[in-house]
Structure 1
Amino acid sequence: MTYQNTLNVLFNLKKTIPNYSCDTEKNLIAVIGGLDSETSLHMANFLSIYKIPQVTYCFFAALMNEKTEFPFVYQMVPNEAQQYNGIVHLFLHFQWKWIGIIALDDEKGDRFVQNLLPLLSQNGMCSAFIDRLPFVTSTDNMIEIFYLSRPRESMALFLTNTKVNVFVLNADTFTILMLKWFLYLAQTEDLTEAVMGKVWVMTAQWEFSSHIYYRNLDIDFFHGALSFTLNSNEVFGFQNFLQVLNFHWPKGDGFIRVFWEQAFGCLWPGTKLGKELIDICTGEEKLESLPGIFFEMSMTAQSYSIYNAVHAIAQALHARYSAIENHRTVTGDRGSLEPPHQQPWQVTACIS
């Protein structure tokens, strides 16, 4: 799917024909993304062929640090491996030596466990258990898996283990999604007391924004969690932008309709109604009325990284056009007043 979507970005055709584009108005200069290092890697495999700069806002696997293999990839956040030393120092500070490890049952989870275990051992700490959460691709699949005996027994085992009160988890989007399901089931099976009082230590990429079916889920059991974080600052005008945002005026935003309907539980004007009584979106709904678990009004670290990625590309374009204008001034060649068509590799040279 990532490869297909990347090709669609490159060639913008209903039927993807590699190395061919009939869209003369499209001038792809750079790409920002993706959500995780695996997605970024898949994107880079195609984008690098066309020397298109890719600015990422996710933590990177170590292999993507190789500039010889990925010369057009630029990172807005540090390498993920830097967190592991920080996690170990945190455990040493509080003298926590008996640690439960939670990770998704996929390649990212494998990498997390393989990197963390040697550091724990070298510093006199032990893993009480390693619990691998199942990876699912859909909500229906998720519900089916959770009602199987093995995941439920595994959940009960690590939650009721009184000797283990400290858990470390690789808190990417899917891991948090699965863990919230586990803990929700714990509440329904009278394991709430077992959940409370645990210390959750999470990596910096933790993701607590919720799907629509989580918006009313109580997450008190995460209060007091310790999470590493990336740098973030409030951007001037961002709060005002969110306060006045409504679905009437954003143009070219293909996500606003889906987000608005799910966030406010309403339907887009003109949508054919079925038998269910659902409110029509008015555009007067306010984002600040949404629960924090569903939508953050503050500038999160991830949002700030995306903002910086956009800013870096804008600065690169400005530097490129300024250099062209200076050259014209020196040579006396005024040429066309229109900004010249730029190739992606020309912009790459200006990204720092």
Structure 2
Amino acid sequence: MIRLLLLAWLLPQGSCLTKRTQTRSLKPFQLYENFHREGDLIVGGNLPLFRAVVKDPSFKEYSREQDHPDLKLVPKNYQYILALQFAIKEINEDRTLLPNVTLGSRIYTECNFASKTTEATLSLLSTRRQMVPNYKCESRDQLLSVIGSLDATTSRQMASILGSFKIPQLGYGSFNSDKEDETVSSSFCRIDPNQVLQYRGLVHLLLYFHWNWIGLLAPEESSGENFIQTLTPLLTQNDICVAFARRVIPETVTFLQHGRKWMKHVSDLFKSDVQVVIVFLDSNTLRNLLGPMSVMKKLNKISARKVWVLTAQWDFVTEGSQKQWKGLKSFHGALSFQIHSKEVPGFAQFLSELDPHQPQADAFLCRWWRVVFDCEFLGSGLIPSRSKRKCTGEEKLEDLPAFVFSVTMTGHSYSIYNAVYSVAHALHDTMRSPGTNRAVMGGVNRLPKLQPWQILAALRKTRFNNSAGDEVSFSEHGRRPAGFDILNWAFFPNDSCAVVEVGGLDPQAPPGEDFSINPDTIVWDSQEIPFARCVKRCPPGQSRRVPEEKPVCCYECNSCPEGTFSNQTDATQCTSCPEDQCPNKEGDQCLLKKINFLPYQETGGVLLASLALFLSLITLLMLATFIQQRDTPIVKANNRSLTYVLLVSLLLCFLCSFLFIGRPRRVTCLLRQTTFGIVFSVAISSVLAKTITVVLAFMATKPGNMARKLLARQPANSIVLICPLIQTAICVVWLATSPPFPNLDFHSIAGEIVVECNEGSVTMFYNVLSFLGFLALVSFMVAFLARKLPDSFNEAKFITFSMLVFCSVWISFVPTYLSTKGKFMVAVEIFSILASGAGLLACIFLPKCYIILLKPNLNSREHLRRKMGI
């Protein structure tokens, strides 16, 4: 094949060769220029049209009898050369860019060999057909810049030579940061986006599909180590686990040398439960997986069902004709990153005009045409072999599959196109600068006397919009800004292939919008989105917990504790709801808490309000009855005025219950406990005054004793007046220092907001209750001592029972009140008020009402005299 290339250079351009063309013998690895077009200034290129495979890499010496390296043409890569030629053609035809300057080109095809890369680089620095670097014996064909290589290792090797001469080199480099570029060469500029951007895109892609259990494939060299060491921390930060990270032997030798290792790699991939594999391999290396994968599929009769996520270092290419594409079917449904590109106006027309029969056709076109269309050119009167048809030159490039050749500009070709224009703009800016010297001969401006470093300085400052509308600029270390396109590949049974752009990564977009993906347009190998996870995702309402000694991706799901929720899938922890909300039963969202107070509309509120109203009516009827019967002995016997005061106070006690029903307000909170305390103190003071009056009445039988004097001073009025005043003073101090106020209690009852009256000072509240308890206790003791005094209408024994009921109610009230919350606490207090008031009413006044209403004969002066024996 090298002989064919040599003859292609020796013959006039446009001549197509046959296999039977005779050539002279060649020395191994002897370098010949592949393509040259003259110009005032030359743009050099080292582009990967061929790949070389050494059949025996262990040789120490090479003899003529040994075979040359097997050069295999990669048809799709021919577009790189065409993109460079198209850019130069456009620049030369542009009257505004580089007027009076013609650009030429010298192109070599890299073959992955260090010796050939070095010779190609040195040849670019020399006069044609000479190997004398930096020595020119021609006034034209000055080297302006070099495009290439599209391989990181080759780029470094070229940069080490070109950097010594300050020749601007625009190449592809799998470098992870700008600092790595600095270590390559000061004259090296990248034409690919920074790989860190691609790594972020990979993480975005994995997170979008919730894949956290993946595998990595990388070459067993420095670029592969850089890839793993850079990507792994980003994956770890996003809780993505790497199930395996395999280093693959770079493709520099034939598959047979390391067949067992390749078979083991593929076998491990088939056995692994990992569904997503990120591949950082070039096309040549990854191609060695195709054969073993096909074999394993036939042996296992199953598909690996993997999703291959391929970086921009790799492209779907095939060697030779499109008949060799079938091995790529293993990558059906794959996703690949590609350097962002746009349709360049005129490029499709440029491709359609390619004709291998034209004299100006380059040296690669004939051979490339034969390979991709699987045909032969007639030459020297020879007849093509029966297995191949005749090449007519009218074959259509559009008929070729995308993996063989793409009629739209690919990402790498787009970068080469922009690189050539960047060099032209840098040269244009340099020529226009005032400090540029020109040689003048006969009044005609000749080419400026330029130094390479001048072009390099201008290149790093250049900024322009290309014909596709994209802005192109370079930083200190490479092109910026540039993004990536995400492609989806589908291979169909009818031997057709489709590639669809399904997303992209735009570094110029705002944060959060730089990544885009359209899952509906993706074709998967398994017809559905793969489950690439160690465990199932935790649904909302649960949180993750990583067991000891397990990867962070292999977690367990635990339900959220009470009072917390998680509304996200795979939540790291559950969070508490806002104070006014509570989690639902599933624990996946917060709901507004129920408002808790005792309203009139509820059953409890209706019953308590009805009971309070009923007791109030009974009290009113009793009061009316006693007023009507005010002149009867039973009413007059035990201080008629105190009876009226007691009945009115009991009526007010029943009515104050309505202050506790309904939503608490500021006014009701201020009146609740104070009204209850003062009114009840009046009622108990009246009971105490009635009891003391009875006792003093029986003690005042002898004239001139102390009891008679006390009775004459009417102590009952003093008691009824002083005791409520003391209670009023306590309430005034309470309201002045720490008054009650409406409050929302979010925590007492789960799932509810208690609308309550905060008592302000709990001490003052219990002081009010204590004073009432003190009065009730004194009344009970006095009534108990006077219960057996002889009197027809003695109330002492009835007051004893009433105080017993009263004290029993309020003693049981305290623990019950403290053990309840919300509206039930209010209901307990209302019930205690009604029960204690009803006890006083029933025990003291029901017997009298019985006599008044049912036994009127007992309520007479005659009956009283007969009973007393008068």
SS of equivalent to 1:101: strand
Partner letter of residue 290 of structure 2? K
Q: Deviations over 1:234-285 (max 9, x none)?
A: 0001111112212233737332233122212233442686994444433222
Deviation (angstroms), 1:81: 2.8
For the structure 1 residues 276 and 333, does the alpha-carbon distance in structure 2 shift closer, same or farther, using more than 3 Å as the test?
A: closer
2:220 to 95, 98, 105: 105
In structure 2, C-alpha distance between the alignment counterparts of 1:182 and 1:23, rounded to whole Å:
53
Q: Is the 8 A contact 2:290 2:330 kept in 1?
A: no
Match of 2:731 in 1: none
Match of 1:242 in 2: 351
Match of 1:149 in 2: 260
- Identify the structure with bigger relative contact order (alpha carbons < 8 Å, sequence gap 6+): 1
For the structure 1 residues 268 and 341, does the alpha-carbon distance in structure 2 shift closer, same or farther, using more than 3 Å as the test?
A: farther
Match of 1:340 in 2: 448
Q: Deviations over 1:209-255 (max 9, x none)?
A: 21116644233442332223322110001111112212233737332
Q: Which structure 2 segments of 5+ residues have no match?
A: 1-115, 463-870
SS of equivalent to 1:337: strand
1:174 to 284, 292, 302: 284
> Normalising by structure 1, what TM-score?
0.84
In structure 2, C-alpha distance between the alignment counterparts of 1:164 and 1:50, rounded to whole Å:
49
SS of equivalent to 2:277: strand
> Normalising by structure 2, what TM-score?
0.36
More strand by share: 2
Q: Is the 8 A contact 1:60 1:78 kept in 2?
A: no
Partner letter of residue 204 of structure 1? A
Q: Deviations over 1:25-78 (max 9, x none)?
A: 320011111112221111111111111111124543537654476222222222
Q: Deviations over 1:310-344 (max 9, x none)?
A: 1111212222333369998xxx9994233335332
SS of equivalent to 1:193: coil
Partner letter of residue 158 of structure 2? M
For the structure 1 residues 298 and 176, does the alpha-carbon distance in structure 2 shift closer, same or farther, using more than 3 Å as the test?
A: farther
- RMSD value, Cα: 3.1
Partner letter of residue 205 of structure 1? Q
1:264 to 360, 363, 373: 373
Q: Is the 8 A contact 1:247 1:257 kept in 2?
A: yes
2:339 to 216, 222, 230: 230
1:300 aligns with 2:405: no
Partner letter of residue 267 of structure 2? A
Q: Which structure 1 segments of 5+ residues have no match?
A: none
Match of 1:8 in 2: 123
1:322 to 428, 432, 439: 432
More moved, 206-215 vs 332-341:
332-341
SS of equivalent to 2:418: helix
Match of 1:54 in 2: 169
More moved, 220-229 vs 99-108:
220-229
For the structure 1 residues 326 and 334, does the alpha-carbon distance in structure 2 shift closer, same or farther, using more than 3 Å as the test?
A: farther
**Identical counterparts, % of pairs:** 37
In structure 1, C-alpha distance between the alignment counterparts of 2:359 and 2:400, rounded to whole Å:
20
Partner letter of residue 17 of structure 1? V
1:131 to 246, 263, 272: 246
In structure 2, C-alpha distance between the alignment counterparts of 1:120 and 1:202, rounded to whole Å:
16
In structure 2, C-alpha distance between the alignment counterparts of 1:58 and 1:199, rounded to whole Å:
26
More moved, 282-291 vs 266-275:
266-275
For the structure 1 residues 222 and 131, does the alpha-carbon distance in structure 2 shift closer, same or farther, using more than 3 Å as the test?
A: same
Deviation (angstroms), 1:168: 0.7
Q: Is the 8 A contact 1:41 1:64 kept in 2?
A: no
Partner letter of residue 347 of structure 2? F
Q: Deviations over 1:170-202 (max 9, x none)?
A: 142234323333433334x3446322x321112
Q: Deviations over 1:12-36 (max 9, x none)?
A: 4546234434344320011111112
Match of 1:90 in 2: 205
Q: Which has the larger radius of gyration?
A: 2
Q: Is the 8 A contact 1:210 1:293 kept in 2?
A: yes
2:190 to 66, 75, 88: 75
SS of equivalent to 1:234: coil
SS of equivalent to 1:212: coil
Match of 1:206 in 2: 314
Match of 2:759 in 1: none
In structure 2, C-alpha distance between the alignment counterparts of 1:273 and 1:126, rounded to whole Å:
61
In structure 1, C-alpha distance between the alignment counterparts of 2:286 and 2:425, rounded to whole Å:
35
Partner letter of residue 420 of structure 2? V
1:350 aligns with 2:465: no
Q: Is the 8 A contact 1:176 1:207 kept in 2?
A: no
SS of equivalent to 1:109: helix
More moved, 218-227 vs 287-296:
218-227
